[in-house]
């Protein structure tokens, strides 16, 4: 296997033509099919979709070939949001799994595969390891008489929209009565075909750009504050009430307020938690890198907050254990169990509009009325980096008053609620450092301290 192919609990990612090639995609499709067939005996159907990346059609064809060569049928959903694909698997009785050709927020030269179990959730880490074992070993391909069939279907996005609009927590009439003006940036990913019609069905006036799903990303595809300048300018220019930005596979939603201020990805989950937990009181689940904003939102609703290692599969597993209604990750990924257990940007947009409609507040006012924190994010190349040595150095230097969590890398939390989290990324060849505090100087100082400890391990 190529060293530049990154393997995580939910699938693989790599630079197309280097780490990820059509032959690797076909073999991974076959490995997944052999795993899923073993988990659900009998011939079944695998749903396959993709985001809009230019490399998507070739890789989807390769994945489909691998699935069929392993004896399962393959159904092509076309360009779909990742949450749309997972929902389609969950609601198709004949589907025993799914494969999504996407690299999520990674740059355009990248692509990847996300692996979906028959219940419409990403594979567990153990199942992902079994697929990897099969990929690296001998795969049993079937003869011509047992080859799977290929089919195609559309309408998955429309079905997703209808399911969101039918949720009891979404009051379509109330939202429509506000006639929200929404600025929308879909970065030419898979978002345009679902976000625009959903918002229009909710009675919004939409000023959208980069809605065409052609994969030619005009900005860095991750919806970070520093990448939302065009959306911020659009909000100001057209006088929008709010701005929404998504990543290419539409599982993350970032917000810009009515003043053209990008408020940060953590606010998406924080406000969604306030809305849902007040109605459906149950533990909230998020990962170790999520902002203290999520703790504050859970506190306002009077429910506990549980933290897990980074990765959606870990959050979902804990939500199931705890009976949670809502959880997610601090990167703008909202998971609402009332629909399905995956990060879902279209659903998150509907929940944010519901929050604004119920509260009568603007996004800017809601943010300004609540405590805010300074969060600092740093990355270091993993090339030549001793991961275990770096983590050990941080642990050894931890102040006596800081709580230490080693579930995922290392997380230190001070009595005042400030924290740092350092961990190797599971989706990029980098080491991530995050620090959060009430003051900008303290957050920067903590990040600098960890950065220096890590770099000594190179």
Q: Is 258 helix (H, G, I), strand (E, B) or coil?
A: coil
Dump pLDDT digits (tens) for 264-323.
999 999 999 999 999 999 999 999 999 999 999 999 999 999 999 998 999 999 999 999
Dump pLDDT digits (tens) for 203-231.
999 999 999 999 999 999 999 999 999 99
Whether the CB-CB separation of 297 and 290 falls below 8 Å is answered with no
pLDDT recorded at residue 100? 99
Helices (H) and strands (E) in the chain, counts: 15, 20
Across the range 121-142, mean pLDDT stands at 93
Task: Answer whether residue 2 shows pLDDT above 70.
Answer: no
Catalytic residue at 425? no
Task: Answer whether residue 445 shows pLDDT above 70.
Answer: yes
Across the range 15-34, mean pLDDT stands at 97
What is the overall mean pLDDT for the chain? Answer: 95
Q: Is 181 helix (H, G, I), strand (E, B) or coil?
A: strand
pLDDT recorded at residue 239? 99
Dump pLDDT digits (tens) for 360-387.
999 999 999 999 999 999 999 988 888 9
* Range list of β-strands (E), 16-56: 45-50
Backbone angles phi, psi at 230, to 5 degrees: -65, -40
Across the range 234-263, mean pLDDT stands at 99
Same fold, 6-156 and 374-455: no
Between 439 and 89, whose confidence is greater? 89
Residue 386: how many CB atoms within 10 A of its CB?
14
Q: Show me where the domains of the chain are located.
A: 6-156, 179-368, 374-455
Long-range contacts at 226-231 (CB < 8 A, ≥ 24 apart): 228/185, 228/254, 228/256, 228/262, 230/185, 231/183, 231/185, 231/256, 231/262
Element containing residue 244 per DSSP (H, E) = strand 242-246
Nearest to 154 by CA among 78, 87, 229: 78
Whether the CB-CB separation of 112 and 188 falls below 8 Å is answered with no
- pTM of the model as a whole: 0.94
Q: Pairing mode, if any, of strands 419-424 and 430-437?
A: antiparallel
Supply the DSSP string of 261-295, one letter for each residue. Answer: -B--THHHHHHHHHHHHHHS-S-EEEETTS-HHHH
Which value, in Å, is the radius of gyration of the alpha carbons in the chain?
22
Task: Answer whether residue 1 shows pLDDT above 50.
Answer: no
Q: Which CATH superfamily is domain 374-455 in?
A: Alpha-D-phosphohexomutase, C-terminal domain (3.30.310.50)
The catalytic residue among 104, 289, 291, 324 is: 104
pLDDT recorded at residue 41? 65
Whether the CB-CB separation of 273 and 279 falls below 8 Å is answered with no
pLDDT recorded at residue 9? 66
Task: Answer whether residue 131 shows pLDDT above 80.
Answer: yes
What class has domain 6-156?
A: alpha beta
Query: Quick one: residue 365, left, alpha or beta (phi over 0 = left, psi -120 to 50 = alpha)?
Result: alpha
Q: Which CATH superfamily is domain 179-368 in?
A: Alpha-D-Glucose-1,6-Bisphosphate, subunit A, domain 3 (3.40.120.10)
């Amino acid at each position: 296997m190529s060293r530049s192919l990154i393997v995580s609990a939910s699938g693989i990612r790599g630079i197309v033509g280097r780490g990820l090639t059509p032959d690797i995609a076909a073999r991974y499709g076959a490995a997944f099919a052999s795993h899923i067939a073993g988990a659900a005996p009998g011939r079944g159907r695998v749903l396959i979709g993709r985001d809009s990346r230019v490399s998507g059609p070739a890789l989807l064809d390769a994945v489909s070939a691998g699935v069929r060569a392993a004896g399962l049928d393959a159904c092509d959903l076309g360009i779909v949001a990742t949450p749309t694909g997972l929902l389609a698997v969950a609601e198709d009785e004949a589907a025993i799994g799914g494969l999504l050709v996407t690299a999520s927020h990674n740059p355009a030269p990248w692509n990847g595969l996300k692996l979906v179990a028959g219940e419409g959730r990403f594979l567990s880490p153990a199942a992902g390891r079994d697929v990897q074992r099969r990929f690296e070993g001998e795969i049993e391909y079937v003869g011509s008489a047992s080859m799977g069939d290929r089919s195609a279907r559309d309408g998955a996005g429309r079905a997703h929209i209808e399911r969101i609009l039918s949720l009891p927590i979404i009051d379509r009439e109330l939202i429509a009565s506000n006639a929200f003006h929404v600025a929308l940036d879909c970065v030419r990913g898979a978002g345009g075909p679902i976000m625009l019609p959903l918002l229009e069905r909710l009675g919004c006036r939409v000023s959208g750009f980069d809605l065409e799903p052609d994969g030619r990303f005009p900005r860095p595809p991750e919806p970070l504050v520093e990448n939302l300048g065009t959306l911020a300018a659009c909000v100001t220019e057209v006088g929008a009430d709010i701005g929404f930005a998504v990543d290419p596979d539409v599982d993350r939603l970032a917000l810009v307020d009515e003043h053209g201020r990008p408020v940060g990805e953590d606010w998406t989950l924080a406000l969604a938690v306030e809305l849902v937990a007040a109605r459906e009181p149950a533990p909230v689940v998020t990962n170790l890198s999520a902002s203290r904003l999520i703790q504050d939102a859970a506190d306002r609703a009077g429910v506990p907050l549980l933290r897990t290692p980074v990765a959606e599969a870990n959050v979902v597993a804990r939500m199931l254990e705890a009976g949670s209604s809502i959880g997610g990750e601090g990167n703008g990924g909202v998971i609402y169990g009332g629909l399905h257990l995956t990060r879902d940007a279209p659903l998150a947009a509907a929940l944010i509009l519901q929050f604004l409609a119920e509260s009568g507040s603007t996004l800017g006012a809601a943010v300004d009325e609540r405590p805010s924190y300074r969060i600092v994010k740093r990355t270091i190349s993993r090339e030549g980096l001793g991961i275990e040595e770096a983590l050990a150095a941080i642990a050894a230097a931890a102040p006596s008053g800081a709580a230490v969590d080693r579930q995922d890398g290392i997380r230190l939390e001070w009595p005042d609620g400030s924290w740092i989290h350092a961990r190797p990324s599971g989706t990029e060849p980098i080491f991530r450092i995050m620090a959060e505090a009430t003051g900008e100087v303290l957050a920067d100082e903590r990040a600098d301290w960890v950065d220096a400890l890590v770099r000594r391990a190179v």
